[in-house]
Amino acid sequence: MSLDWNLLSERIQRCQSFVLCSHIRPDCDALGSELGMAGILQQLGKKVRIINGHPTPPSLSFIDPAQKIEVIGESVRPEEVNGDCIIVLDTSAWAQLGPMGEVLRNFKGVKLCIDHHMGEDELGTEFFKDTSAEATGHLVAKLAKQLQVTMTRTMAKSLYAAIATDTGWFRFGSTTSETYRLVAELVEAGAVPSEIYGDLYERDTIGRVRLRGRILSRTQDELGGTLVYTHVLKEDFSETGAIASDTEDAINLTLAIAGTKVAVIFVEQLKGGFKLSFRSRCGVDCNKVAGEFGGGGHKAAAGAFVQGTLKEVQAQVLPVVREAMQIALGALSPSAARPES
Mean of pLDDT values over 257-274: 95
Q: How confident is the model over 163-173, as a mean pLDDT?
A: 93
* Integer Cα distance of 190 and 182 in angstroms: 13
pLDDT per residue as tens digits for the range 105-144: 999 999 999 999 988 899 999 999 999 999 999 999 999 9
Burial class (CB in 10 A: 0-12, 13-18, 19+), 241: middle
Which whole number is the average pLDDT over 15-37? 97
Task: With beta carbons less than 8 A apart as the criterion, state whether 164 and 171 touch.
Answer: no
Q: Is 60 exceeded by the pLDDT of residue 176?
A: yes
Share above pLDDT 90 across residues of the chain, in percent, rounded to a whole number: 85
DSSP state of 245: G
- Given this model, what pLDDT does residue 248 score? 85
**Domain range annotation of the chain:** 5-201, 206-329
Q: Is the pLDDT of residue 245 over 90?
A: no
Q: CB-based contacts of 52: which residues, under 8 Å, 6+ apart? A: 21, 22, 24, 26, 30, 34, 69, 70, 71, 72, 100
Q: Give residue 249's pLDDT band: very low, low, confident or very high (50, 70, 90).
A: confident
Buried residues in 32-68 as b, exposed as e (16+ CB within 10 A): bbbbbbbbbbebbebebbbbbbbebbebbebbbeeee
Overall fold of domain 5-201: inorganic pyrophosphatase (n-terminal core) (3.90.1640)
Span 12-24, mean pLDDT?
97
Tell me the pairing of strands 69-71 and 262-268: unpaired
pLDDT tens figures, 196-243: 999 999 988 999 999 999 999 999 999 999 999 999 999 999 999 999
**pLDDT tens-digit readout, 296-321:** 888 889 999 999 999 999 999 999 99
Contacts (Cβ under 8 Å, ≥6 apart) of 81: 19, 49, 51, 72, 103, 107
Q: What is the pLDDT of residue 340?
A: 42
pLDDT for the residue numbered 335: 37
User: Mapping DSSP to helix (H, G, I), strand (E, B) and coil, where does residue 220 land?
Assistant: strand
Question: Options 3.10.310.30, 3.40.630.10, 3.30.450.20, 1.10.3720.10; which CATH number does 206-329 get?
Answer: 3.10.310.30
303 phi, psi to nearest 5 deg: -145, 165
Torsion of CA 323, 247, 62, 52, to 10 degrees: 70
Is 206-329 the same fold as 5-201? no
Residues facing 297 on adjacent strands: 302
